[in-house]
Amino acid sequence: MAIHLGPNRYGKAECRLVAVARDGERHALTDLNVSTRLAGRLDATHLTGDNSDVLPTDTQKNTVYAFARQGIGAIEEFGLALARHFVAGTDAVERAQVHVEAYGWRRLGGHSFARAGDEVRTATLTATAGQAWAVGGLHGLTLLNTTGSEFRGFPRDRYTTLPEASDRILATAVDARWRFASLEVAWDAAFEQIRGHLIAAFAETYSRSLQQTLYAMGERVLTHVPEVAEVRLALPNRHHFLVDLSPFGLDNPDAVYFAADRPYGLIEGTVQRDDAPPPGLAWDLGAA
């Protein structure tokens, strides 16, 4: 029986990092969660326990903090600098990927802040010796339309109990990732544009299905932000069910709902340009 080692990688997961830039009485706060993944000629450590090519994960963690001391800037720039460093600095490492989550804080004063909800900005940067790829993203962006949505005309079988809805609440928590066609991007400005177009498409689309809304969101981003090659979206359908108040002698003219957290429908899809460059290692560190 033939057995061989398949694709593999290793790294340091979830290095929590808070950086404070102190400029007089007005401070700036950056709150990140950084994960590193390295891959390459690492067969020996798996097959014989030879660690001569294994850059310790503790070293990777220390590198994240040391690079933060030199300045973070846009999270895409920070992740790209780290990924390129790991490829250049360790001979056996042929591919490096850095995933960054940025947590928002709302300013209350010169040096006081409040956490800005559940939304998280993300970036995944992948590098080899001669090439690099960037994927931006966000998750936890909660959106809701109180009308302008329906769900009708679906097939029915013996197990179908769902009634058709001609007017319903549509709610989701957006998980979006977008692949950039190049690295010549104004990262922070692009993020704000993309986020704005995702929100606008959700709000302005009359939705006959959450799938239709998903496509409208991706299409709008690609139409307005030429730097983006493709958008991947995962949209949980946060169901809202009308409460039956008739046992209490009350009507309920689409006024009171039960917000169910689970189970939920999960709609996933990709929208991409026909002329998009190949993804390379942008999505999967995998094998070169």
Neighbours of 283 (CB within 10 A): 16
Q: Which of 12, 61, 99, 197 is catalytic?
A: 12
Q: Which of 61, 99, 197, 239 is catalytic?
A: 239
The reply to whether 61 belongs to the active site is: no
Residues 6+ positions from 243 with CB-CB distance below 8 Å = 252, 256, 257, 258
Q: Which of 27, 45, 57, 139 is catalytic?
A: 57
Neighbours of 16 (CB within 10 A): 11
Backbone phi, then psi, for 70, in 5-degree steps? -85, -5
Active site residues: 12, 57, 239
